[in-house]
Structure 1
Amino acid sequence: MSSDFAIDLSAHEMLRRAHVLDAVGPDWDPGEALRGEQEAYALLYSGLDADQQRVYAELVAAGVLPGRGDGHAAP
């Protein structure tokens, strides 16, 4: 015996999105948020010494960390 069971969550998803937009507020700028994240990422991996740079490159090559531009951390 087989029965199909389906739940439509589209109304719940719309409510969830409304709550997210309400939480971030009217002044939220997604482009600025992305730029801020990119700047923080660049700072996080800046100033690595040679050994740290080697480990960073290995982690990028292994797919653990995302690659950036030329594959090197920011100077």
Structure 2
Amino acid sequence: MLHAFDIDLTDHETRRRAEVVAALGDGWDPVGTLRDEDEAYRLLYSGLDAEQEETYRMLVAAGVLPARTGEGGGRGAASD
């Protein structure tokens, strides 16, 4: 015989998130981290040749990659 039961993971998830933030330490700068990620993203897709740029745009249109700023939103990285 099967019995239905519920498991509330709210307490566990709250504790897990608190542990993650504690592990990051006092020096963690979330705004700086996002800024660095955006810069890395911008550099990753800079200097593409025409064929690579077309492939990039196709992947953005398909929803595989996020668009750069100026291309309908996305990560917020500056477009080159």
Q: Into which bin does the TM-score normalised by the smaller protein fall?
A: 0.7 to 0.9
How many correspondences in the alignment? 74
Equivalent residue, structure 1, for 2:52? 52
1:69 and 1:17 map into 2 onto residues whose CA distance is 30
Aligned to 2:31, what secondary structure does the other structure show? helix
Note the C-alpha offset of 1:11.
Answer: 1.5
The two structures, once aligned, show a CA RMSD in angstroms of 1.8
Residues 60, 67 of structure 2: 8 Å contact kept: yes
> C-alpha deviations, 1:49-73, integer Å up to 9, x for none?
11111111111111111111223x8
> What is the aligned partner in structure 2 of residue 33 from structure 1?
33
Percent of pairs with identical residues: 57
- TM (normalized to structure 2)? 0.79
After TM superposition, what 4+ stretches of structure 1 lie above 6 angstroms from structure 2?
none
Give unpaired runs (5+ residues) of structure 1: none
Higher relative contact order by CA 8 Å / sep ≥ 6: 1 or 2? Answer: 1
**1:18 aligned residue:** 18
1:56 & 1:9 partners in 2: Cα distance?
Answer: 40
TM-score scaled by structure 1? 0.84
CA contact (8 A) 2:70 2:79 kept: no
